[in-house]
A = this chain, B = another copy of it.
């Protein structure tokens, strides 16, 4: 069914980047209002695709209608969020230090600084979010908001969905009078396409959401270029959930209910899926595991995004379940079918977990492993052993969490988002959201891919020294025509 989409050739990719660079030299100067109009128009055009987009995405991803509709809302939502951000203008972090001509021993020059876009960005569509992290996903929209042209490589699992959205963006660009080629679309089932896009000298940054192997390969290519470029790859996270004993003894059932729902949500195909549960081994934990297992056994078997993901889940699940000391606690009793993701939960002791690196790796799907720790000391050892994560959650009463501040301190070193008494799934789009954590959850824990701060991935600061007013960017002119927040001689003001 995807036969109509052929891989871009090296010549086509070169032409794409040349056009993107030409577009950049114009688009980088587009003012906030124009960019806002463009981004809002993208949202409108996506909505105008109506049911065709929904049915196409459903057909290509096996995701249910409600999920696609919800994701479409999230996508148009971030288009409008970034439109508001760039229209307001304060995001450029303007700083102004005025001259002091008679300063001794040397005069102080006038220097001003603001964020500017870095250049053409290559975005790889994600398999698990055909809309919100794909063609008009957070990477694309934040890069466009920054003033960078974007080249999207469609995810080969949903090329028709990607094409529909690409055409909507094209229409939005035309209707809002945007520079030609500010957005371009490429197809590629072969890794060579992505490689050529990342290695092209005019590419200045990369956004990616997918597997550790895929993200790391692109990161390595980008760092080995004659001119290394930033890669924002979101790759792999098992999102540990720590169950503190007092809380667990009082609400084993409730906790099991909350986690079962989170594990099976979207057939476990979320980067924030809780793949690891840590607790001290006691009667309450037994009750919790029994309850969780019962719920997992009773859960339905969902259809996964595509056959590759389903095959991978089955293989990784089998691999995990056959490791030394891993005990299957429960698995869905629903009849398995093709492309199915069967929910499962297992347990393991600390000693078997700590000596087996494989158990710290992500199993992408509705699976979670409970590590039974003998005591608090073992619990800390397990946390210390973990790699970088998008999130870490602690389930416990306020005073109990307070008594475990060392545990929270340790978790903070492992994750980008800490949650108390909540599950990791459900990524709120707001300025406070950090979606990005220490490696290998992402390649750059200093940036987020969700929320307005995602724009910071595609900019760099430039200083303007001794510029006459007439030649300064509008954001840095004395009279502050955009009425933005600026640090003016060390004082933050409008």
Contacts and interface: CB of A to CB of B under 8 A. Distances in A.
The 4 closest A-B pairs by CB, nearest first: A434-B463, A417-B463, A111-B432, A113-B432
B409 A25 contact: yes
Copies in the complex: 2
A155 interface: no
Given A97-B430, A401-B471, A402-B471, A418 B465 contact: yes
A247 to B, nearest CB: 13
Interface stretch (A129-137, A187-195, A223-231, A340-348): A223-231
Given A95-B432, A430-B97, A230 B420 contact: no
Contacts of A307: none
Given A97-B430, A420-B468, A434-B462, 20 more contacts: A28-B409, A90-B492, A109-B426, A116-B412, A118-B445, A223-B223, A228-B439, A228-B443, A230-B444, A415-B462, A416-B461, A418-B465, A419-B466, A420-B466, A431-B487, A432-B463, A433-B463, A434-B463, A446-B459, A446-B460
Given A418-B467, A467-B418, A426 B106 contact: yes
A31 to B, nearest CB: 15
Contact of A461 (B230, B453, B467): B453
A470 B230 CA distance: 38
Interface in A424-460: 426, 428, 430-434, 438-440, 443-446, 448, 453, 459-460
A433 B228 contact: no
A418 B443 CA distance: 31
A279 B347 CA distance: 72
A411 to B, nearest CB: 10
Given A95-B432, A413-B119, A219 B228 contact: yes
Nearest to A230: B446
A108 B428 contact: yes
Contacts of A434: 113, 461-463
Contacts of A470: 398, 402
A490 interface: yes
Given A95-B431, A227-B388, A463 B111 contact: no
A219 B229 CA distance: 12
A417 B462 contact: yes
A166 to B, nearest CB: 27
Interface string A84-99: 0000001000011100
A85 to B, nearest CB: 10
Contacts of A119: 413
Among A415, A467, A492, max chain B CB count under 10 A is at A467
Nearest to A445: B460
Among A29, A409, A445, A446, max chain B CB count under 10 A is at A446
A189 to B, nearest CB: 28
B111 A430 contact: yes
